[in-house]
A and B are shown apart, each in its own frame.
Chain A
Amino acid sequence: MEMNLIKVVPEFIMLGTAFLLLVIELFIARGSRKFFGVIGILGAIATGISLLYQETGSALGGLFIQDQVAIYFKALFVLCAVLVLYITMMYEDKIKHWKGEFYSLILFSIAGMMLLASSSDFISFYVSLEFVAVCLYVLAAFTSENRNTIEAGLKYLITGALASGFLVYGISFIYGSTGATGFSAVATALKTAPGSGFLVLGLSLAIIGLTFKISSIPFHVWSPDVYQGAPTPVTALLAAASKGAGFVVIMRILFTALGGIKAEWMVFVAVISGATLIFGNLAAMPQKDLKRLIAYAGIGSAGYLLMAVAAGSTLGAGAIMFYMLTYIFGILGSFLAIVIFHNSEGSDLIDSYAGLSRRSPLLAFSLFVGLLSVAGFPPLGGFIAKLYIFAAAVKEGLWVLAVIGVVMAIVSMYYFLLVVKSIYLRPPHNTAPIHVDFTSRAVLYVVNFATIFLGMYPGPVTDWVMDIAKVLF
C-alpha cells in the first residue's frame, strides 16, 4: 500500500489555488474580481512547473497512474486553464453574482480533469468524471438571469445524467465479465479468458456513455444549445479541455484496458466516427451564430478524433494528442477573439462580424488563423494533425472512414471560409475600430504564433507525442 503523494503534487497545487480563491472571496468586498484570474493563472503556472518535475510511476494505492500520457494531458489542461482564466477576466463584467466562485469552479474542473487523466481504475475514473461533470453543470448554468443559459444548464445536466447512467451500466458489465476494475487488471484478465458477449455489451454501453463528454453521436444533442447559451469562458472550457479529458479516458479504456479485444470495438467506434463526421459538418453549414457553428464543428472534430481511436494504433494515439494541442490553440484563440468582439458589439452572429478586418485587423487575423486551423487548412497546425489522423486510419485499413473524413474536411473549410469571407470581404455595418488592450494583444499573438508554428515545424512535437503514446499499449 503505497501513497506516494509526491506524484499528486500538481493536482494539490491546482486544488489549493481553487480553495484559496473560495476562501479569499469571503473576506473581500463586492466589485471586480479580475485579480482572481491573475491568482488562478499563477496557480496554473505553478502547477505546470511542478509537472515538469514529475516522474512516472503510480500512487494512491495504484489507482492513480502518472505516466507520460497523463503528464502530457495535464500540461494541456494547465494550458487550457491559463487561457480560459484569461478569457474569464475579459468576460467578467457579464457575470453579475458570485464572480469569485466562477474562477474557483474553473480551477476545480481543471483539477478534476487532471485527476481523470491519471485514473487507472474504473472506480477512480468514474468518480473523477462525475467531479468534472458537476463543476461543468454549475458553470454552464452560471449566469442564470439569462433564459438561454438556464436552458443550456438544464439540457447539459439531463443529458449528462443519462449518459452517466449508460456509462455505469456498461462498466458494471465489464466488471462482471472480467472480475477487475483496474485498467491493467482488466487487460490481464482478458489475456487468460476471451471476451464474452456481456463484455462487448458493456463496452458498447460505456463507449456510448463517454460520447457525451466528447459531444459525438449519439450524445451530441446538448452541445449546440450549451455552447450558445453558456457563458463564453465555459463554452471555451467545454470545447477544449472537456473534450481532451474525454479522449484521454477513451484512450485509456479502449487501448490500455480493452486493447486485447480491439476487433470487437474497432467497427463500432468507426461507425460512430463516420456518423459524427457527417452529421457535425453538414449541420454546421447553415448556422448563423458563431458559437453554434463552432459547436457543430466541434462535433465534427470529435468524429476525426474517434477516427484515430478506431485506428487503435500508436500512430492514432499520437495523432489524438497532437490534434488536441492544435485544437486547444485554435479554439481558445478564437474564443478570446469572440469574447473581445462580444464585449464591444454585444453579438455573436456571423453577420455582425462583417468587415471586422477593417475594424480590428488582429481580431480578424486571430479568427482567421484559429478557425482555419480547426478546419485543417494548410499550413496551420490543424492540417498536420488531420494528416496524422488520416494516416493512422489508412494504415489500419479504414479506407471508407478516411474518405469520409477528407470529404468532410472540405465541407468544414467551406463553412469556416464563409466566416472568413464575412470578416474580410464584406463591408462593415459600423466602421468604429474595436479596441484590444495590450495583454490581450500579447496573448493573441502568442496563440496565433503557436498555431502557425505547429503547422510549419511540427516535427519535434509529433516525434515526442508518437514516442510517449507507446505507454498506452
Chain B
Amino acid sequence: MEQIFFYIFSILAIISAVMVVSVRNAVHSAFYLIVCFLQVAAIFILLRAPFLAAVQVFVYVGAVMVLFLFAVMVLDIGKEQFKEHLHTQAIPAIVTVIALFATMGYLVSQGRITVPLGKFTEEALSKNTEVIGKSLFTQYIFPFEVVSLLLLIALVGAIVLVLKEKKGKQA
C-alpha cells in the first residue's frame, strides 16, 4: 500500500519538476514547483517525518513560492523574454541527462544499497518535533549556528546590492 502511494507521489513529483523547467511562462513554472513541493511533503509523511512535511509546506509552498510569484509579477516577466537562448547547449544537455539516467538505472537494477537503515526509535515517531529540536540544539548546534550567520549575510547582502545609500545621510 505504502509503495503504491510512494510511486504515485514520486511520479507526480518528477512530472511536475520536468514541467517546471519546460514550460515557457514563469507563473506556470512556479505553480508546477508548488505541485512538486507538495508531493515531496507527502513523501516525507510516508517516511514518518511529519515535522519535515509541515516545514516543507509552510516554508517552501507557503513562503518561498509566494515570494517567487510576487517577484515574477512585480518584475512582469512575460513569455517573450523566455525565448530560446540555449540552442547550442540542448544536445550536450540531452546526452548528459541520458547518460545519468542510464547510470542510475543500472545502479538501481543492481540494487546494491545494503546499508542498515537509520535508528528509528519510538520516540522519533511520537515526539517528532521534540526530537528534531533537541538534536538541532545539541548535536547539530554547529551547522545550526552557521545557518543563522548565513541568513544574516544574505540579509546584509540583499540590502547592499539593491539599496543605494540615501543622499540625506550626513556627509
Beta-carbon contacts under 8 Å, B100-121 to A: 103-104, 106-107, 110, 112-118
**Cβ contact within 8 Å between B141 and A60:** yes
Partner of A63, one of B142, B170, B171: B142
Sorted from nearest, which 8 A-B pairs have the closest CB atoms?
A138-B157, A196-B112, A179-B115, A60-B142, A127-B143, A197-B107, A63-B142, A131-B150
19 A-B pairs in the complex with CB atoms less than 8 angstroms apart:
A60-B141, A61-B139, A61-B141, A104-B156, A127-B150, A131-B150, A134-B150, A134-B154, A135-B153, A135-B157, A138-B161, A142-B161, A144-B161, A153-B161, A196-B107, A196-B113, A197-B110, A201-B103, A201-B104
Say how far A116's CB is from chain B's closest CB, in angstroms. 10
Within 8 A of A (CB), among B144-171: 146-147, 149-150, 153-154, 156-157, 160-161, 164-165, 169-171
Tell me which residues across on chain A come within 8 A of B113, comparing CB atoms: 176-177, 196, 198
* In-complex Cβ contact of B114 among A60, A141, A196 (8 A): A196
Report the bound CA distance from A30 to B169 in whole Å. 7
Establish whether residues B112 and A198, one from each chain, have CB atoms under 8 Å apart when the complex forms. Answer: yes
Residues of B within 8 A of A124 (CB): 142-143, 146
Give bound CA distance, A64 to B142, whole Å.
8
Q: For the complex, what is the distance from the CA of A134 to the CA of B161, rounded to whole Å?
A: 12
| Residue pair B149, A108 in contact (C-beta under 8 Å) | yes
Q: How far is the CA of A243 from the CA of B110 in the complex (A)?
A: 38
**Is B140 close to A, CB under 8 A?**
yes
Instruction: List chain B residues, Cβ under 8 A from A97.
Output: 160, 164-165
| Cross-chain contact A98 with B165 (CB below 8 angstroms) | yes
Contacts of B147 in A (CB 8 A): 127
Q: Chain B contact residues (Cβ within 8 angstroms of A): what range?
A: 20 to 34
Q: Which of A134, A153, A201 has the most CB of B within 10 A?
A: A134
Q: Does A130 contact B (CB under 8 A)?
A: yes
**A130 to B153 CA separation, bound complex (whole angstroms):** 11
Q: With contacts defined as CB atoms under 8 Å apart, how many contacts are there between chain A and chain B in the complex?
A: 105
Give chain B nearest CB distance to A244 CB in angstroms.
Answer: 19
- Name the contact of B149 in the complex, choosing from A15, A176, A193 (C-beta under 8 A): A15
Residue A265 lies at the interface, judged by CB distance under 8 Å to chain B: no
Contact A123 B140 (CB under 8 A): yes
Residues of B within 8 A of A (CB): 103-104, 106-107, 110, 112-118, 138-143, 146-147, 149-150, 153-154, 156-157, 160-161, 164-165, 169-171
How near does chain B come to A112, taking the closest CB pair, in angstroms?
8
Nearest B residue to A30, CB-CB? B171
Residue of B nearest to A129 (CB): B146
A101 within 8 A of B: yes
B169-A141 in contact (CB<8A) = no
- CB of A138 within 8 A of CB of B146, answer no
- Closest Cβ of chain A to B75, distance in Å, is 15
Shortest Cβ distance from B92 into chain A, in angstroms?
A: 11
Do A30 and B143 touch (CB < 8 A)? no
Assembled-state Cα–Cα distance A198/B142 (Å)? 28
Pair B160/A29 contact, Cβ less than 8 Å: no
By beta carbon, the residue of chain A nearest B147 is A127
How far is it, in angstroms, between the C-alpha of A137 and the C-alpha of B170 when the chains are bound? Answer: 29
Interface centre among A22, A131, A153, A176 (most CB of B within 10 A): A131
Query: For the complex, is A105 an interface residue (Cβ under 8 Å from B)?
Result: yes
Contacts of B106 in A (CB 8 A): 197
How long is the Cα–Cα vector from A193 to B116 in the complex, in angstroms? 11
New A-B contacts (6) at CB < 8 Å, excluding given A124-B142, A142-B160:
A105-B157, A112-B149, A135-B153, A138-B161, A193-B115, A198-B112
A128 proximal to B (CB < 8 A):
yes
Report if A115 contacts B (CB, 8 A).
yes
Given contacts A97-B165, A127-B150, contact A22 B156 (CB under 8 A): yes
B138→A105 contact, CB < 8 A? no
Check if A141 sits within 8 Å of B161, measured CB to CB: yes
Q: B160 to A101, Cβ gap below 8 A?
A: yes
